Amino acid sequence: MMRTVFVNGEYLPEDEAKISIFDRGFLMADAVYEVTSVLDGKLIDFDGHAVRLERSLRELDMAAPCSKDELLEIHRKLVEENGIVEGLVYLQVTRGSDGDRDFAFPDADTKPGIVLFTQNKPNLADSPASKKGAKIISIDDIRWGRRDIKTVQLLYPSMGKMMAKKAGCDDAWMVEDGYVTEGTSNNAYFIKNGTIVTRPLSTDILHGITRKAVLRLAEEAQMQIEERLFTIDEAKEADEAFTTSASAFVMPVVEIDGVQLGDGTPGPIAKRLREIYLDESRKTAI
């Protein structure tokens, strides 16, 4: 089906949407993005994504293309026009184009670029992958040092996914200085003796919107949480593990570097957290 997309102020059929070859998102990966999930035709944690977008823009000295209310309106209009009941809205803001290529940023009055499109994913909540659980490999983390900014520099994470695929697995967790940072497109956790362990927030990882919600819900459910550095060997000896992201919610992990966790099926705490997260998200969706 031909989607309606939003490009620099216009709603257009996807095959008529165009951006300049001089756009800095295209030339320099000088762009940031957000992915917001849709359940029951409504947006999950729109506010969290809008706040993180503002922060990413601020950290890069990039102008906002429109107000938060306008962003919400565009998200909603695309969800409606494209008949999305379950799926995702992708949003990208770039530093725009001043009609040439230069390492220096263009003048501050250069208009930022903005692109939004939807992705229809009918089985997002009831995904077969979440029932099986993910097999992961560990790889070196060789990304730049500001992973807290959600930029479109996704080549290494894409390569990580391909390394996992080649090894017959689903995803990769990245390791730096002996400690796990995060997954290629998600935050990483393990559970040992009932305690959920995850890396604390810093510039080393993306401050996941799903991470924040899941940790709050786990705390409300009286679960023990430790935010600390952890090694891949600790995770391999865990009872359970999981990842969180806006596009996969809570995803159980059943194998790390060929080592099976528990009985090799999604663990009870990860499964429970997925249920709680989905229930709460549906209730607060807008």
Q: With contact defined as beta carbons under 8 Å apart, do 115 and 91 qualify?
A: yes
Termini Cα distance of the chain: 25
- The one segment of 67-75, 185-193, 220-228, 265-273 that binds ligand PLP by CB under 6 A: 185-193
For position 186 contacting ligand PLP by CB under 6 A, the verdict is: yes
With respect to ligand PLP, which residue has the nearer C-beta, 68 or 111? 68
Measured CA distances, 8 to 55, 91, 94, 146 (Å): 21, 12, 10, 27
For position 210 contacting ligand PLP by CB under 6 A, the verdict is: yes
Cα 31 from Cα 95, distance rounded (Å): 6
List, as one string, the DSSP characters of 68-82.
Answer: HHHHHHHHHHHHHHT
Interface with ligand PLP (CB under 6 A), residue from 39, 50, 196, 206: 206
Q: Output the six-digit token pair for 185.
A: 């497109």
User: Could you tell me how many residues of this chain bind ligand PLP (CB under 6 A)?
Assistant: 12
With respect to ligand PLP, which residue has the nearer C-beta, 158 or 231? 158
Smallest gap, in angstroms, from Cβ of residue 186 to ligand PLP?
5
For ligand PLP, the binding residues in 216-245 under the rule CB under 6 A are 244-245
List, as one string, the DSSP characters of 133-174.
Answer: -EEEEEEE----S-TTS-BS--HHHHHHHHHHHHTT-SEEEE
For position 141 contacting ligand PLP by CB under 6 A, the verdict is: no
Cα 115 from Cα 94, distance rounded (Å): 9
With respect to ligand PLP, which residue has the nearer C-beta, 110 or 247? 247
Interface with ligand PLP (CB under 6 A), residue from 79, 89, 149, 246: 246
For position 209 contacting ligand PLP by CB under 6 A, the verdict is: yes
Q: Output the six-digit token pair for 241.
A: 């593990």
Residue with tokens 């967790």: 173
Smallest gap, in angstroms, from Cβ of residue 258 to ligand PLP?
23
Interface with ligand PLP (CB under 6 A), residue from 161, 211, 271, 274: 211
- The SS3 assignment for 71 reads helix
Smallest gap, in angstroms, from Cβ of residue 202 to ligand PLP?
13
Interface with ligand PLP (CB under 6 A), residue from 8, 94, 185, 281: 185
For position 208 contacting ligand PLP by CB under 6 A, the verdict is: yes
Residues belonging to the active site? 150
Spatial CB neighbours of 270, under 8 Å, sequence gap ≥ 6: 133, 191, 240, 241, 242, 250, 252, 253
Binding site for ligand PLP (CB under 6 A): 182, 185-187, 206, 208-211, 244-246
